[in-house]
A and B are shown apart, each in its own frame.
Chain A
Amino acid sequence: MYDFIFKPFNEMTEEDYKTVGFKSGLEIHQQLLTEKKLFCRCPAGKYSKDYDAEILRHMRPTLSEMGVYDGTALMEFKTKKNIIYHIKRETVCTYEMDDTPPFLINEDALDIAIGIGMLYNCNVVDEIHIARKQYLDGSIPTGFQRTAIYALDGWIPYKDRKVKIVQMSIEEDSCREVSDIGHDRVYLTDRLGMPLIETVTEPAMKTPQEVAEVAWQCSKLVRSTHKVRRGMGAAREDVNVSVEGGTRVEIKGVPQITLIPLLTYNEAMRQWNLLRLREELKKRGITPETFKAESYDITKLLKKVHYAPLKNAADSGMMLSAVVLKGFKDLLHWQTQTDTYFSKEISDRVRVIACLTNIPNIIHSDSKSDSISSADWLKIKKFTNAADNDTMIIVWGSEDDVKTAVNEIIIRAKEATIGIPSETRQAMSDGTNGFERILPGADRMYPDTDLPPKKITSERLDKIKLWLPEQIWKRIEWYNKLSIPKDTIEELSVSKYAKLFKKAVNDWKINPTTAAVLLIQYPKRLIKYGCIIEWLHEGMFEGILKSYADGKIPNDALLTTLRTVAELGAFTEEVIKNPASKKEVDEVIKLAQTECDKMKIINPEKKNEILLGMIMKKLRGRIPAKVIADKIGFSN
C-alpha cells in the first residue's frame, strides 16, 4: 500500500492525492472590524512595537471541566518558559494583563459574528456559553482564550457540492510573538483581545488546490460584509491535513491563502513518508514493543572535540549526551518533506520542549560529514556499545535541558514506530512545516466562570438581517445571468456597492453592465487622474446612477461626471444640470486671461493661481478644477 512515492509538487495529480487519501479542512480566523476589543474597552487594531512596561508570567496546567489534564498543557509545562509581555498603555489595560475580570462581551462584535454565521447558512445557537480554552504557550496572559461557539452546521457551495461548516466561534485574538530564545519567550500585547471569529470546515477537500479555493470562497464571503479587518494578519488559516492511515495534523497560522497548496502538499508528503518509515521499522523488527533506546552522559568523553557547537558547550561546562536508537541506522536521514528529513522531527522537539533553540541542537551518526570526526564517532560508539545498525544522536546544553531533550528524543523516535503524532505544526516560508506543539484535545476547555451565558434572541437576528448582504454565490449567479463582464463580477460580489447595484438594476432599470462598470471599473481609471478613490462614497454613485436613470447624464459622460464628483468630493445637482461644454470653458478661460492681464499683480508668480480662482468662480461644480489647471498650465 505504501509503494507510492510523492512526486514533485507540480507533478502531483488528483489521482495521486486520491491514492494517498489526502483529506483537508480549514479553520479560518478572521478579525472583525470593531472599534474596541472583545472583553474590554481598549481600542482594537492599533499596532505598535514600542512599549512602556514589561510583565513576566509563568503558566501552569490546570484541570479541565471533565477533571483531567490536557496533554499539550503538560508538555508546555515541561518547557518552563519565562513569558515576557511588552505592554503599551494605549492598547492594553489591566484586563488583558489578567489583573481585572472581563467586561461583558462587545455586542458589535457579536452582531458581526452572527451575521457572518448566517451567511454561512449556520444555525445560530440559542444561548452562548463562553469557554476558556487553555494555551500554555503564553500567547494569552490568562493562560486561556475566551471563546464561544455561536453557530453550527452551515455550508457553502463549492464546485458541484456543499462544503459543510462544522462550527463557528467568537474569540479574543492572542499576542504577537517577538522572540523565543532559550527559556525566554517575548510577546507584544497590542493584538491581544481583538475580536476574532473562527470558522471550521469539515475535512472535505481532496487536493491542496481545493483547500485554497475553499479558503478564497470563505474569504470573499466575509469580505462581502465589509465588517471584517483586512491586511496582514487580519485573516489567518489553520489547515488540518491527513492521509489514509494518518492522523489529523494542524498547520497553524498560515498568513496567506496562496501558501496553502504547497504547505498541504508537504504535510501530506510528511505523513505519507512517516507511514512508510513505520513500515521500514516494522521490516527491521522495530515495533512499539521492541523499540529500544539508551542514553549516555558523554560530557567527559568529548572533552577535546573540535566541532564548534560541541566545543563551546564543553568549554562552558554544559552537558553532552548521546542517545542510541537501536536498529535506526540511516533512518534519521529518511525524507519527510521537500529537503527535510526525520532528524528535523527530532530536532524540532528538542528545540520546542527542551528549549535548546540554537540550531543545530542535535547531530547524529546518519549524517556524519559536517560535524565531529569519525574518530570521535568511533569513540562514542565504543563507549555506548552501539552496534553497526544503530543510530547515535548527540545533544548538548544545560543539565536540565539535556535531560528533557534526551527524554523527548526517545519519545519522538518511539512515536515513529506508532505512526504520526497528533501535532500542531507551524508553517515555514519555504512551504514546509515544523513542530509547534502536541495537538490539544477537548480536555483543555473550561467554562468561563467570570461571565454568564448569553441568550441570542430572534429580535437580534432580525436586526442583523437588515444590514446583511445577500449571499455572495447567489449574487454571482445573478450577475452571470445579467451577462456582466466576467472581470467585473468577482469584484462586484464583494463590493460595498452591491446593494446599490441591485437598486440601480431592479428599481431604476439601468443596464447592468453600465452600472457594474461605473461602480467597479471607473473608479480604477480615476486613479490615473490622481483621484483618491478611497474618498468616493455611496452617495456619489447613487446620485450619478439616479441622474443617469433619469436621463440627465448621457452614457459617454458617466466617466467624466464621476471624475468631477470625485474631485469635488460631493455629488451636486450642478454637475448634472449643466456640465460645462468645451466651448464654454474656452470662452471663460479667454475672458479671464484678458482680465487678468489687465490687473496689477504684486507677486507675478501667483498669477496662475489667481487666474484659476477667477475661472473656477464661474465654473465651480461644473468641471473639475484640475482640468482647468492643466489647461492653463498651473501646477502646485
Chain B
Amino acid sequence: MAEINLEDYKGYRGVALNTLQKFKTPIWSDVEILTDEGSFKGLILPRSETADEFHIVLKMPIGYNIGISAEKIKDVKIFGRREAKYKIPEKDFPYDPKKPRVKLLGTGGTIASRLDYRTGAVIPAFSPGELYGSVPELADYCNLETEKLYGEFSENIGPKHWKGVAEAIGKEIEKGVQGIVIGHGTDIMHHTAAALSFMVQNTPVPIVMVGSQRSSDRPSSDAASNLIHAVKTAAESDIAEVMVCMFGPTSDMYGLLHRGTRVRKMHSSYRSTFRTIGDIPIAMVSHEKITPLREDYKRRRDDKEVIINPVFEEKVSIVYYYPNMQPDIIDSLVDNGYKGIVIAGTGLGHVNKPMYPALKRAREKNVAVYMTVQTLWGYVQMYVYDTGRDMMELGVVPAANMLPEVAYVKLGWALGQTNDLEKVKEIMLTPINGEITEREPSNGYLIYQGGLPEVEEFIKQYRK
C-alpha cells in the first residue's frame, strides 16, 4: 500500500481521516458526498487542527461551508480536484525617480494576510508587489522596497528580533533610504517601539511602526489606511524618531504618530487602541497631510549618523504588585539569576512591608530594582510616604514616569551594556527620547468618562 501523505488530508484525524482515506478523497477534491440524509456537492476543504475528528468540511458551490458527520457518509463520487490558490494579485511596484525611497521591514502581523487552514486563523503574507496589488495608493507617496525579516505573531517577538530589526535599520540608513516602516503585530508593538527607541539613536529619518487591529482579510480593516499613513510619514514627514502609527479614532479619518517610548496598547480590540500616555502624540496623519501637534520632535537630517546599539540582557522581569504579594516572588527571581526587576507598584509606587527583606536581598545580590506605577499615568513619588523612603533605602530606584513596559525594555538594554548598577542607574534615569519627561502636561491625562453630559455632547459632535 502506498504511503499516505498527511498533507493530502490536512487537519483531519480519527474517524474523519479514516473516512476520507477509505473513499480516497484528499482535500481539494471536487465531490458529491452521499449520506442517509441526501447528497452534498462541493469541495473538500482542509480542517482546522483544533476542530473535532468527526466532521468533514465541504465548500458548497454557493461558497458556504458545512461540516458533514463522517460516520453518515455512504459513498463519495469524485469529479476532480480544485485547489485554492490564495494569492494577492501581484503588480510591479511602479518606480518614480522623483519620489523618496522607503523601506518596509516586515516582522509579521496582519498588514497583509491570508488564511491558514491548519489553525483556521489568519497568517501574514507580504511583498512589495502584493502590497501594491492590494494597496495601490502606496505608490502615490514613495518608491517602496520591502524585506521580510521575520514572520512572527506579535506575541512571539522578543529581544532577538529587536536586535535584528535595529541592525536592519542601521543598514537601511547606511544605504540611504529616506524613511523606514516596520510592519508589526499590535500586541507588543509598544515594547518593540521602546526597544528601537533605545537601540537606534540619532536616526536621520523617520522610523514608523505600523500594524492593524482588524486583519486585512476584512473589508473594514484598518490595515490599508494605517499602512498608507505610515508610508506617508516615512516618505514625507520631518520627524526623525521611532514612532507608532495607528488609528487615532475608530473612524477611518486619521492616524496618530506616537513617540515610541510613551505609547501603549490600551484596548484588546478597538482600532484606536494605541494611546500616548502622560503626554500628547507627536502628530496626526491622514492620506493628505501630516499635522504636528508639538514642536519638540527631532528633525530629519541628511547625514547617516545613526547610533545602533543592539544589546539586551534577557534576565529582566516585570513584577506587577498585588495586595498580599509574598516575598518569595522576588526571591525566586533572584535565585533564578535575574539581574533586573521592574516593579509596577500601587499608587505612587508602593509594595507591602513583608516584601522589604526580599528587596534588600535582591540588592545585596546585585539585582537592579526599579519602581514604576501600575496606574500608568503619573510619576513614581517615593518621598511622600515613609514606606517609599524605606524602599529607596533598600535600593529600589524610582523610575519617574517611565511606563512599566518601557522601563522593562530599557533595563534589559542597560544591563546589556553593563553590570555596574551605578552605570545602569545613570542610563536608566537619563532620558533618551521622552521615556522620562520633566513635566506632565495637563492634557497628558485625558480619559473622558462616558455618560457625563458634556462628554456625550462632545462625542456626538466629533466622530470617534
Contacts and interface: CB of A to CB of B under 8 A. Distances in A.
A55 B463 contact: yes
B161 interface: no
A599 B57 CA distance: 85
Interface stretch (A136-144, A315-323, A350-358, A431-439): A136-144
A128 interface: yes
Nearest to B50: A452
A129 B66 CA distance: 5
A447 B65 contact: yes
Nearest to B66: A125
Interface in A580-627: none
A128 B220 contact: no
Given A123-B38, A144-B219, A449 B55 contact: no
In this complex, the interface size class of chain A, counting residues with CB under 8 Å from chain B, is: 35 or more
Contacts of B86: 63, 65-67
Interface in B46-88: 48, 50-52, 54-55, 57, 59-69, 72, 84-88
B10 to A, nearest CB: 14
B389 to A, nearest CB: 44
B347 to A, nearest CB: 30
Contacts of B463: 53-56, 84
Interface in A40-60: 51-60
B220 A98 contact: yes
Given A65-B115, A442-B62, A445-B63, A152 B40 contact: yes
Contacts of B253: 56
A41 to B, nearest CB: 16
Nearest to A149: B64
Interface stretch (B187-195, B210-218, B400-408): B210-218
A123 B67 contact: no
Contact of A129 (B57, B217, B250, B460): B57
A443 B59 CA distance: 12
B145 interface: no
A449 B216 CA distance: 13
Interface of B is mostly: loop
A141 B225 CA distance: 16
A153 interface: yes
A62 B216 contact: yes
Contacts of B55: 126-127, 453, 455
B459 interface: yes
A125 B219 contact: no
A277 B85 CA distance: 40
Contacts of A61: 219
B51 A144 contact: no
Interface in A138-178: 141-144, 147-149, 152-153, 167, 169
Nearest to A130: B65
A100 B213 CA distance: 10
B464 interface: yes
For this complex, into which size category does the number of interface residues on chain B fall?
35 or more
A442 B65 contact: no
Contacts of A441: 63
A149 B58 CA distance: 12
B250 A131 contact: no
B69 A442 contact: no
A64 interface: yes
A133 B57 CA distance: 18
A153 B68 CA distance: 14
Contacts of B61: 442
Residue among A57, A63, A442, A445 having the largest count of chain B Cβ atoms under 10 Å: A63
B270 A94 contact: yes
Given A58-B252, A131-B65, A443-B63, A52 B460 contact: yes
Nearest to B269: A100
Contacts of A149: 60, 64, 66
A266 interface: no
A449 B214 contact: no
Nearest to A51: B460
Contacts of B67: 125-129, 453, 455
B438 interface: no
Contacts of A99: 213, 250, 267, 269-271
A94 B273 CA distance: 13
B219 A73 contact: yes
Contacts of A270: none
Contact of B59 (A59, A65, A127, A143): A65
B158 interface: no
Contacts of B37: 123, 153
Interface string B436-464: 00000000000000000000100110011
Contacts of B134: 60
B456 to A, nearest CB: 6
A56 B251 contact: yes
A548 interface: no
Contacts of A97: 250
A578 B33 CA distance: 67
A624 B87 CA distance: 76
Interface of B: 37-38, 40, 48, 50-52, 54-55, 57, 59-69, 72, 84-89, 114-115, 120-122, 134, 213-214, 216-221, 224-225, 250-253, 267, 269-271, 456, 459-460, 463-464
Given A62-B219, A100-B269, A442-B61, 9 more contacts: A62-B216, A125-B68, A129-B66, A134-B219, A141-B220, A149-B60, A447-B120, A452-B50, A455-B52
Interface of A: 51-67, 69, 73, 84, 94, 97-101, 123, 125-129, 131-136, 141-144, 147-149, 152-153, 167, 169, 441-447, 449, 452-453, 455
